[in-house]
Chains A and B, each alone.
Chain A
Amino acid sequence: MTLFEPVKILIEKSALDLPYAQKLLRYFSETPVQEVDEIQQTKKTLHDYFSKNVLLITDYKGDIIKRCPGTRGALCCNYYVANIINGCPFYCTYCILHDYINCGSVMICANTEKFFDELRAKTREKFLLRLGTGELADSLALEPFVHLNDELLPGLKECKNVVLELKTKSAFVDSILKYDVADKVVVGWSVNPQNIIDTDEYKSASLKQRIEAARIMVQNGYKVTFHFDPIILVPDWQEQYRAVIRMLRDSIPGEQVAWLSLGGLRFTASLRKIIQDRFKKSDILSYGEFVPCPDGKLRYFRPVRVNMYRFMLKEIMAWNRSIPVYLCMESQQVWKQVFGSLPLERSALAHVYTPYPDTDLHEE
């Protein structure tokens, strides 16, 4: 079985003439196609049994590029997300998409021209817009099937003041190398010890494959990013994460790491229920001690989190002190405890945490 094999395509009538939609229909020429008036309405009626392995192609009417919503009580890192693909073929125990995209299908916005219109309108002189496609999807997991990079990267070359982060748990980087976009694209990998990948990141690439893909990107002049997120406090977690950092150190020069994030396992009450129901063999909820936080999510108890971040930071600094490290969705209090200061007071991160000079992007 391949990673992505849709049994049916639902396409919005208004998307039929879009060039990328036409290409998608060709890529999946064997798959039955049904035309619908409005995907969003159809999605609501998709039944549990019939929604999996359905590809939805839409002429998306809303904003494709949005400011990362962040979370209540956490410091904002001014990241922007482009939700061109919604849905992921990987099956990670802890993934919020189980809760957020509850129909289990993959949706692609075929109107990529709209993405560029929005991007051009939103970039600002002297400010770098950090944009990612990995919020509601893995940026590269579907690449061998949907070839989205062929639609985005050539156009991106012409855009100024933007860096696109393609965040992934795959090793599908070949399609990026076709284009000369090292100054516009960074590729980011979510990393975890291999035994966590085995038990809780089903269908994703192995740690070795991810690091090898990162090495190839670096070799081709690209900067890369790494995300220890979620860090899971399995027994012997320190040894396991130390080993991952050492593997990275042995393959990737620290200077080529554009940024690196740390985030502890966190989940909403409804995701917790999904994990309990769907992933009965997973033990991730058993380790550590979870407390409800001001944003409603459960996180490891603060002193446990702080120790965890301090340990990770120490190991990363031993790899390379110049790597910009930030905490994802954490409070000022935790930042101060871990780093002794807030990101705006830290030169390596000040430009990231300086509010983006935006107008229309900041409305939620």
Chain B
Amino acid sequence: MNKIYSILSAEQINRADEFFRVGSSYNSDMLRRLLDEWGVIAPLIVSRHGESYRIVEGFDRFDCAVLHGITELPVIEVDTDEFSCYRFAIFNAVRQESCDIFDIAQALAVLSDYFLVPRQDIATEYLPFFGFSCRDKILDKLITIHKFDPSQKKLCRDECIETDKILLISDIDRTIRNDMIELMIELRPSINKVKQIIELIDEISGREGKPPAEVLSDPLLRSILDDEACNAGQKLNRFREALYGRRNPALSRTLELVDRKIRQLKLDNRIKLIIPPYLEGDQLRLEAEFENKEQLEEIARNLLQTAGLKSFGELLDIIKEP
């Protein structure tokens, strides 16, 4: 590959052509300060394209230089094909850590649709380079992410939604993607909670034969989100509980009944009655805290009283045959 070091006037460079731009702008303030002090020292990488030049690397430097009134820039003109230039742009963007997930999805789309790189090569060669495992599933998700609406991409970027969460919402039904993005912005759920919410919506949708958007438009869910008396954490918990209850009506009803029966026992607060998780098993456990003989005797009396209560018998019956 020929490389020619030269000086070009800014006008010779077609700044509007961003074909080789991979990744977003980085810290321009720092760049501006460097330019104040040093001027443009590192040459831009360019390639000839018709009568003008395309930037392969150095978009931010070019912009800052022009803002500073610099009219001539040092460049390295590379005489090579578009594909090599694009690969260089990718590697450079990864090196500068200037790619977010949408940039990566965009780059993979260019490799696939413009350069016609086979899917398998993209998975095995490029995905690991961007820090992903080389799996079909990830590639499918990234292809979908590339197709997000511009407004969705902007919202995710502006609100700094984490990469893992964007990957999670990539394969949900399109009709609820906006709702999920808004939910992630407003309630700030952890990745596991996002996952749980998506699973619940999906399962309710399958079970009730309703589109996911209809599940999410449930007035109860809406009222939780609109409740100004609750903070984000409280809303999130209530939102998840409402979905869980709808997904698991029998289980929720039974566990609620068990809770009610335990409350009716009015156990001494030093005694904890532990039921088998999800009623899988018939062994109950007791935990008691005491410091002396008198306290132990008091607990024993309380337990004896409890054993005679009707509610206790009912609780045992529920656990035996829910």
- Using CB atoms and an 8 Å cutoff, list the residues of chain A in contact with chain B: 47-49, 73, 276-277, 280, 283, 285-287, 289, 291-294, 299, 301-304, 306, 331, 333, 337
Contacts of B282 in A (CB 8 A): 333
Interface centre among A289, A292, A306 (most CB of B within 10 A): A289
When A48-B136, A49-B120, A293-B280 are in contact, do A283 and B206 touch as well, CB less than 8 Å?
Answer: yes
List A contacts of B254 (CB < 8 A): 301, 303
Asked, given contacts A285-B206, A303-B321, whether A291 binds B250 with beta carbons under 8 Å apart, the answer is no
Provide 23 A-B residue pairs closer than 8 Å at the C-beta atoms, listed in order of the A residue: A48-B134, A48-B136, A49-B123, A283-B206, A283-B207, A285-B206, A286-B202, A286-B203, A286-B206, A289-B250, A291-B280, A292-B277, A293-B278, A294-B280, A299-B280, A301-B278, A301-B322, A302-B280, A302-B322, A303-B250, A303-B322, A331-B280, A337-B321
Check A286 against B207 for contact (C-beta < 8 Å): yes
Closest to A276 in B: B199
Interface centre among B120, B249, B277, B280 (most CB of A within 10 A): B280
Closest-CB distance, A353 to chain B (whole angstroms)? 20
B window 256-291: CB within 8 A of A = 277-282
Is B12 an interface residue, CB under 8 A from the partner? no
Instruction: Give Cα A276 to B172, complex, Å.
Output: 11
A301 to B321, CA, bound (A): 11
B123-145 to A contact mask, C-beta < 8 Å, 1/0: 11000000000111100000000
Q: How far is the CB of A148 from chain B (nearest CB, A)?
A: 31
How far, in whole Å, are A49 and B121 apart by their CA atoms in the complex? 11
* Docked pose: A300 CA to B321 CA in angstroms: 15
What is the minimal beta-carbon distance from B120 to any residue of chain A, in angstroms? 6
Q: In whole Å, how far is A75's beta carbon from the nearest beta carbon of chain B? A: 14
Bound complex: CA A200 to CA B78 (Å): 55
Q: Closest Cβ of chain B: how far from A51's Cβ, in Å?
A: 12
- The residues of B that contact A303 with a CB separation of less than 8 Å are 250, 254, 321-322
Residue of A nearest to B199 (CB): A276
Which residues from B are CB-within-8-Å of A285? 203, 206
Interface size class of B (residues with CB under 8 A): 20 to 34
Report chain B residues within 8 Å CB of A331: 280-281
How many angstroms between the C-alpha atoms of A306 and B281 in the bound complex? Answer: 13
Q: Which residues from chain B contact A306 at a C-beta distance below 8 Å?
A: 321
A294: chain B residues at CB < 8 Å are 280-281
New A-B contacts (15) at CB < 8 Å, excluding given A287-B206, A301-B322: A49-B123, A276-B202, A280-B171, A286-B204, A289-B251, A291-B251, A292-B277, A293-B280, A301-B248, A301-B278, A301-B279, A302-B322, A306-B321, A333-B281, A333-B282
Q: Which residues of A contact B249 (CB under 8 A)?
A: 289
Residue of B124, B134, B251 with highest tally of chain A CB at under 10 A: B251
Alpha-carbon distance between A295 and B206 when the two chains are bound, in angstroms: 27
B247 proximal to A (CB < 8 A):
yes
Contacts of A292 in B (CB 8 A): 277-278, 280
A285 to B279 Cα, complex, angstroms:
20
Q: Which of B120, B135, B250, B278 has the most CB of A within 10 A?
A: B278
A183 → B minimal CB distance (Å): 40
The answer to whether B247 and A289 touch across the interface, beta carbons within 8 angstroms, is yes
Alpha-carbon distance A145/B202, docked complex (angstroms): 40
| Closest chain A CB from B232 CB (angstroms) | 27
Which B residues touch A49, using CB under 8 A? 120, 123-124, 134
Cα A292 to Cα B250 with chains together (Å):
15
Q: What residues of chain B lie closer than 8 Å to A333, measured between beta carbons?
A: 281-282
- A294 vs B282: C-alpha distance when bound (angstroms): 12
Complex Cα gap A205–B302 (Å): 62
Instruction: Kindly provide the distance from the CB of B231 to the nearest chain A CB, expressed in whole angstroms.
Output: 30
Complex CA gap A10/B137 in Å reads 26
Residues of A within 8 A of B251 (CB): 289, 291, 301
Q: With CB as the reference atom, state the residue of chain A lying closest to B277.
A: A292
Residue of B nearest to A303 (CB): B322
Q: Are the CB atoms of B207 and A287 closer together than 8 Å?
A: yes
Cβ-defined contact, B135 with A48, below 8 A? yes
| Whole-angstrom distance between the Cβ of B215 and the nearest chain A Cβ | 11
Quick check: B281 and A304 within 8 Å, CB to CB? no
* A73, chain B: closest CB distance, angstroms: 8
A48 and B207 CA atoms in complex are apart in Å by 32
Q: How far is the CA of A173 from the CA of B139 in the complex (A)?
A: 42
Are B120 and A301 in contact, with the CB atoms below 8 A? no
Q: How far is the CA of A286 from the CA of B279 in the complex (A)?
A: 21
Query: Cβ of B123: which chain A residues have Cβ within 8 Å of it?
Result: 49
Q: Cβ of B278: which chain A residues have Cβ within 8 Å of it?
A: 291-293, 301-302
0/1 string, B201-229, CB within 8 A of A gives 1: 01111110000000000000000000000
